[in-house]
Amino acid sequence: MEQETWIQNILESTTGITTVEPNANLWAKIQHKIQKQNYVAPKTVWLVAASVAILVILNITVMKTKAEEKSTTPTSYFENTLNKSNQLYQ
């Protein structure tokens, strides 16, 4: 019973609290900063997008040229795997 009374007293302790009003000048400054949001210029966005596109195209081009270099004929693969010293046993 005593614990329930204590809990009820804690819950009712906020009934007499009044809300605090901020200073009008400070409130105006805060509202002004919120409304003055930083933004990125559209020119910067387009430059970044163009840079990313160029990098993607460059990477794809390099990957394609590397893949073409790696593709070999069966004869050239066989020649590359042969032992160059002509020794049967090492």
Q: What local confidence, expressed as pLDDT, does residue 43 receive? A: 95
Residue 72 has pLDDT above 90, yes or no: no
pLDDT tens per residue, range 7-50: 888 888 888 788 888 888 998 998 888 888 777 889 999 999 99
Q: What local confidence, expressed as pLDDT, does residue 40 receive? A: 83
Please give the Cα distance from 84 to 90 (Å, whole number): 12
Q: What is the mean pLDDT of the chain?
A: 82
Q: What local confidence, expressed as pLDDT, does residue 84 receive? A: 65
Residue 65 has pLDDT above 70, yes or no: yes
| Phi-psi sector, 59: left (phi>0), alpha (psi -120 to 50), beta | alpha
